[in-house]
Structure formats: C-alpha cells, structure tokens
Structure 1
Amino acid sequence: MKSLRTYAIPFTGLKLGKHEFDYVITDAFFDDFEYSLVKKANLQCKVDLEKQETMLILNFSIKGDIQLTCDKCLAGYPQQVDIHEQQIAKFSDEPVDEDEEVIALGKNDHEINVAGLMYEYINVAVPFIATCGKPGATPYCDKDMLNRLTELSASDEQTEQLNDPRWDALKNIK
C-alpha cells in the first residue's frame, strides 16, 4: 500500500483552476490489490483536476493495454482500453448520501488518493467475456487448444446416453 502514496494529489496548495497529473500504471500498481482481475498492464493515466471553491472535479483518461486470459482458449492476450470517467469531490463536513456518486472531503483532508478510483475504472473496463479475437474478425485463439477442447467435448450420442429415462414422459407434455 505504500506504493499507492504516489497517487495522492495534495489539493490544499493548489490554486483555483485546472491542473494536470500524469501517471504510468504497470504491474506494480496491481500488486497492491489482492483480488484484482488485472495483474499486468501498461497504461497511461491523465487526471485533469479542476479545483473550485466548493468542490474538485476529476476527469480521468486511461489508455493502453491490459493483459487478460482468453475465456475460450486460455491464452494470454493484450486488451486495449480507452477509459474516460469523471469524479466529483465536494468539500463538506456533512456525510454525503450513498446514492450520490460524490466523494465528501472534510476540512481536515488535504489530499485525495486517486489510486482506488483508477483501479475501479480499469477493472470495470475488463470485458465480461474475454476473447482474444476481435468482434466480427477471425479469432486469434490457439488452434491446438481449440482442437483439444473439441476432442474432449461430449458428443451428441454421449449426451443422449446421459438422459434419465424417467424424464422422457415429461417431454411429450405440451
């Protein structure tokens, strides 16, 4: 967690207006998060911070590639990501409703750590089904692995033999 201190932005000394912060996100960043979907990455993160009198507006732009495992052939492949998100942090001593997507900063807070936000945005960008092929294009999947999976998959004859004859009578009811 000590390495995540580099992602803390001290906002108390900043003038009102826009400020830009650049970060490089690599494998070491994800080592601090135990259950991360992403373990390897090469990303560039640009944080545009706009300081106002009552709030901070953070605009995140994260580009690069993350290393994923294909759900089809189990081969590793680079997944391109281009993430654009915004986060608002208000200066308030009162707790903010959980429904609002706003961070509350108290008068004792002097910095905001953006590591957790970047981690969230990157993990949400991971596709639900990771495949090494591009949609509509020829898949890059490992041919040997796909052939092996086809050999080991149950054929139609085997699945018919696995059917329980007690349920056959139910198939005729409509």
Structure 2
Amino acid sequence: MSNPKELRQYDIDILQLENKHYDFHFEGGNEFFAALDQNLISKGAFKAKVGLDKSSTMLQLSFDIAGSYELICDRSLDPFEEPFQTKEKQILKFGDKAEQLSDEIEIIPWETATVNIARFLFDFIGLTVPMKKLHPRFRTAESDEEDEEATAEILVYSSAKPEENAEPEVDPRWEALKKLKNGSKGS
C-alpha cells in the first residue's frame, strides 16, 4: 500500500471492542484506489457495510459492498462506468503469528489492536471486475451473437447424430488391413 495515510480511515480498533456484533460503514472514491499499489481500478466509488462479530478467539467480518468503477472497453477502448455489488466474508483468528490459511481465513497475532480492512475491500471489489470488459452498447449485440453461435452448434450436433439402426462407416484402410490379417490366417 503506497499511501497508508489515506487508508487509515479503514482501520477498526478491535482492542476496545467487546465480544458481540458491530456494524461499520465505509465509503471510498478515487483516492482509495490511488492509495493502493495496483493498476486494476483507477477510478471508482463504493459504499460498504461491514459487520463484525468479535469473540475471544476470532473476528468474523461480513462485507456488503456496492458501487461502480471505470473500465476501458476491450473492443473500443472507450471508458465506461461499471456498477458492482458483492457480499463476502473474512475470518480473522487470533494466534501466535500472522499467517494466511486460505482466501477466507487468516491468523492475526493476539496483541493486534487495529485491523485495516482496506485490502479486503479492494480484493472483494477487484473480484467483481469482469474478465471481458465490454462497453454496455456492445453487450446486447455480443449476447445475441453468442446465442446465434450456440444455436448453430446445437443444430450441427443434432443433425450429425447417427441413425440407431445404421451400421457405422468403416474406414477403407481398416478393411484392407483386416483382409491382410485374415488372409495370413488362411494360408
């Protein structure tokens, strides 16, 4: 993270929290994306509701994030705004040393006083970025073309089905080899 000062607003002081449920609300804009060392999203805005369930052994975080970001169309290179919404979960277990066990579970040291959720917010937002970035004006035409291609493939497959009673065609080369094999047995 290149600008930790900008990202401090995403700190949650967990040391003073009792073992119960809490709701936090966060917002971010272009400054949030600029403060991170990444080149996936440069412009955007979001609102996030973060639920935190604290117990003596772990923190369970639930994220409900909605907003939009600017993407560049793969086809026309025109910028466009893409809306997104996502719900994710993250578990932070207390332990002796910091360690990531899986995408959803991390261990944080017992003495951790503050958790910064900026990385989680960005990771979850980044997961919503489509692989194929198409400007909305191309999407209906693209999906129509894909539907036509799928229909054509189905027609080809259905017309290529062999009849049940018909004998399969045998390659003439195999017939010639069978004759050679059978001819050597008869000698």
Normalising by the residue count of structure 2, what TM-score does the alignment of the two structures yield?
0.68
- In structure 2, what is the equivalent of residue 34 of structure 1? 37
Bigger share in helix = 2
Taking structure 1 as reference, are residues 27 and 97 closer, same or farther at Cα in structure 2, changes over 3 Å only? Answer: closer
By how many angstroms is 1:97 displaced? 6.3
Task: State the secondary structure of the residue aligned to 2:70.
Answer: strand
CA RMSD in angstroms comes to: 2.0
Indicate conservation of the 8 Å contact 1:88/1:101, yes or no: yes
What is the CA–CA distance in structure 1 between the aligned matches of 2:139 and 2:42, rounded to whole Å?
27
Q: Pick the structure with greater CA Rg.
A: 2
Task: State the secondary structure of the residue aligned to 1:116.
Answer: helix
- In structure 2, what is the equivalent of residue 65 of structure 1? 68
Indicate conservation of the 8 Å contact 1:36/1:123, yes or no: no
Indicate conservation of the 8 Å contact 1:26/1:43, yes or no: yes
Q: Equivalent residues in 2 for 1:142-157 (5 A)?
A: none
Normalising by the residue count of structure 1, what TM-score does the alignment of the two structures yield?
0.73
Indicate conservation of the 8 Å contact 2:98/2:106, yes or no: no
- In structure 2, what is the equivalent of residue 128 of structure 1? 131
* Partner residue of 1:118 out of 118, 121, 127: 121
Indicate conservation of the 8 Å contact 2:98/2:108, yes or no: no
Task: State the secondary structure of the residue aligned to 1:60.
Answer: strand
Indicate conservation of the 8 Å contact 1:44/1:62, yes or no: yes
What is the CA–CA distance in structure 1 between the aligned matches of 2:53 and 2:137, rounded to whole Å?
37
Counterpart code for 1:127: P
Task: State the secondary structure of the residue aligned to 2:129.
Answer: coil
- In structure 2, what is the equivalent of residue 45 of structure 1? 48
What is the CA–CA distance in structure 1 between the aligned matches of 2:96 and 2:23, rounded to whole Å?
27
Q: How many residues align?
A: 139
By how many angstroms is 1:87 displaced? 0.1
* Structure 2 residues without counterparts, runs of 5 or longer: 143-187
Task: State the secondary structure of the residue aligned to 2:38.
Answer: coil
Task: Show CA shifts across 1:73-98 (max 9, x none).
Answer: 11111111011110000111156564
Indicate conservation of the 8 Å contact 1:27/1:42, yes or no: yes
Task: Show CA shifts across 1:90-133 (max 9, x none).
Answer: 11115656447312121221111100111111112110110012
Counterpart code for 1:126: V
Taking structure 1 as reference, are residues 49 and 134 closer, same or farther at Cα in structure 2, changes over 3 Å only? Answer: farther
What is the CA–CA distance in structure 2 between the aligned matches of 1:114 and 1:63, rounded to whole Å?
16
* Structure 1 residues without counterparts, runs of 5 or longer: 140-174
Taking structure 1 as reference, are residues 91 and 80 closer, same or farther at Cα in structure 2, changes over 3 Å only? Answer: same
Indicate conservation of the 8 Å contact 1:96/1:102, yes or no: no
